[in-house]
Amino acid sequence: MVDTLWLALGGLVIYMIIVATAQKRGLLPPQVRAQGPITTLHTQYGKVLLDRLASPKRFWRAWGISALGSRSS
C-alpha cells in the first residue's frame, strides 16, 4: 500500500509542475503569482483588507511588545 505521505508529496510535485508550465506559457493572469508550492492572488480588495487590518497601530505595537516579552521569559 502507498503511504499517504508519498501520495501528498507526489500530488504537490505534480501541482508545482502544472503551475510552473502554465506560468511559463503565460496562461496565468497577471494577478496570479506562483512561487514554489504557494500560489497567491493579488487583488485590490486584498490590499484594502490589509490596510484596514493594519490601521490599529497601538494594537499591533502592543502585540509585538507582548510577543517579544513572552520569548524572553
| 25-45: pLDDT as tens digits | 999 998 998 888 898 988 888
Confidence of residue 1 (pLDDT cuts 50, 70, 90): low
pLDDT tens string 12-29: 999 999 999 999 999 999
Query: Cell digits for 46?
Result: 486584498
pTM higher than 0.85, yes or no?
no
How many residues are recorded in the chain?
73
The continuous run of DSSP H or E covering 68 comes out as helix 57-72
CA distance 43 to 41: 6
For residues 14 and 28, the answer to whether their CB atoms sit within 8 Å is no
Pairing, β 38-41 against β 32-35: antiparallel
